[in-house]
Amino acid sequence: MSVTSADGFVAAGCHAGIKRRRFDMALVATEDREPVAAAAVFTRNKFFAPPVAASRQRLEANGGRAAAIIVNSGNANAGTGAPGLADAEAMCAAAGEALGVAGADVLVCSTGIIGTPLPMDRILAATPKLAKKLSTEGGSDAARGILTTDHRQKQALVRGSGFTLGGMAKGCGMIAPNMATMLAFLTTDADVSSEEMTRILRDASDRTFNTLNVDGATSTNDTVILLASGRRGRPDLAEFAEAVHRVCEDLTFQMARDAEGMTRIVMLRVTGAASDQEARIAAKSIAENNLVKCSWYGGDPYWGRLLAAAGSAGIAFEAERSAVSYGGIAVSRGGTNVAHDDEAVRSHMREERIEIEVALGLGSGSAQVIGIDLGPGYIKENAKTS
């Protein structure tokens, strides 16, 4: 179950010395080193890292083709200016030379600390060794090589009626719905064009990755890439689109469960908004509110904090039309308390996965966000990051 499960791909991971002990580089390539159809979705953060610029430019220039992806973790190569772009280009060139392909056919991603130059001597020394390690069994090592503060590898696989789709991802902090929300790499042996994959990947990302909100922070480096070898012919596009959605959804929940300091996952639905857009705004406001997140950590069904966050989100809101429920049990209507089984609600709040609905009663707009609680673990991790 890995990024090499689909026919036509090999991968590897290694420790290059960017981090003290853990794997910190990964390489995914086509088995025959030929460029194949590629699609990608990148961060919308205007403070984007040089690797994002380099990969975006390549796909725009060649119409969506790639033969390899080189990745480093432990250093984001972000906030590094022109030298950082030169380093990203050098990583592509080095990978291309090691693989015997054009550097223009290599995509590049970095993740880690912002504002620090890459240790290029270590990266360039490790790249040929990484290329020599490439194999169909190397997917797990590659999944290790892309991790930063993650506690575990994140891999997913779907076998369709005539194709295979595999993927890996990293991400457990600096995640908010504004695609992309982390690094993710998917491969398939279906014969699908870059244009088709771009449309499908964007839709899947909006329905999965973009619903995950760990801390409201959109990263500088976030990238999702899908490569298609085409070895097993044309798929049913509807089935293929559903497979992409399933892999992205699987990886999304793996990231949620590995979120920094996470003790509870919250499936938050906002319904009855004036529009879907207003529902998304309200859901984002609630999921990012630190008071709300602390109440989730404490298992406290404090519905007032939910409505306060929705009411301050800048959308249409009328307290007398609102309702709030936890685990399907209504605790508030009309902006005030309603009689309910208090112990049943508190029991639900003790579970790892909490279901919450905030109904606004104004229209048919709705949205869902996967939220995470806020506790000492998150603060401990991010207080020492830099």
Give the tens place of pLDDT for each residue, 94-109: 999 999 999 999 999 9
Q: Please, which residues bridge with residue 112 across strands?
A: 74
Fold of 265-383: Ubiquitin-like (UB roll) (3.10.20)
Q: How far apart are CA 372 and CA 214, in angstroms?
A: 5
Instruction: Please answer whether residues 181 and 212 qualify as being in contact, where contact means their C-beta atoms are separated by less than 8 angstroms.
Output: yes
Tell me what percent of the residues of the chain surpass a pLDDT of 90.
77
| Averaged pLDDT, 162-184 | 72
Of 13, 272, 226, the C-alpha closest to 133 is 13
Report yes or no on whether pTM surpasses 0.85: no
pLDDT of residue 175: 46
Active site residue 4: no
Lowest mean pLDDT of 144-153, 271-280, 335-344, 352-361, name the range: 144-153
CATH 3.60.70.12 positions along the chain are 9-256
Average pLDDT on 208-233 reads: 83
Give the residue-averaged pLDDT of 8-19: 97
22-31, 146-155, 237-246, 271-280: the lowest-pLDDT one: 146-155
Q: Does residue 216 carry a pLDDT above 90?
A: no
Report whether 15 contacts 136 (CB < 8 A): no
Q: In this predicted model, what pLDDT tens digit does every residue of 60-104 receive, in sequence order?
A: 999 999 999 999 999 999 999 999 999 999 999 999 999 999 999
Q: Is 115 left (phi over 0), alpha (psi -120 to 50) or beta?
A: left
Q: Which residue has the tokens 């390539």?
A: 29
pLDDT of residue 178: 44
CA neighbor of 180 nearest in space, from 42, 372, 65: 42
pLDDT of residue 1: 66
Query: Looking at the domain covering 9-256, what would its CATH class be?
Result: alpha beta
The predicted pLDDT at position 100 comes to 98
Q: Of the candidates 307, 321, 309, which has an alpha carbon nearest to the alpha carbon of residue 272?
A: 321
CB 147 within 8 A of CB 73: yes
Question: Which among 30, 127, 181, 187 is annotated as catalytic?
Answer: 181
CATH 3.10.20.340 domain locations along the chain: 265-383
What is the torsional sign of CA 188, 190, 195, 197? negative
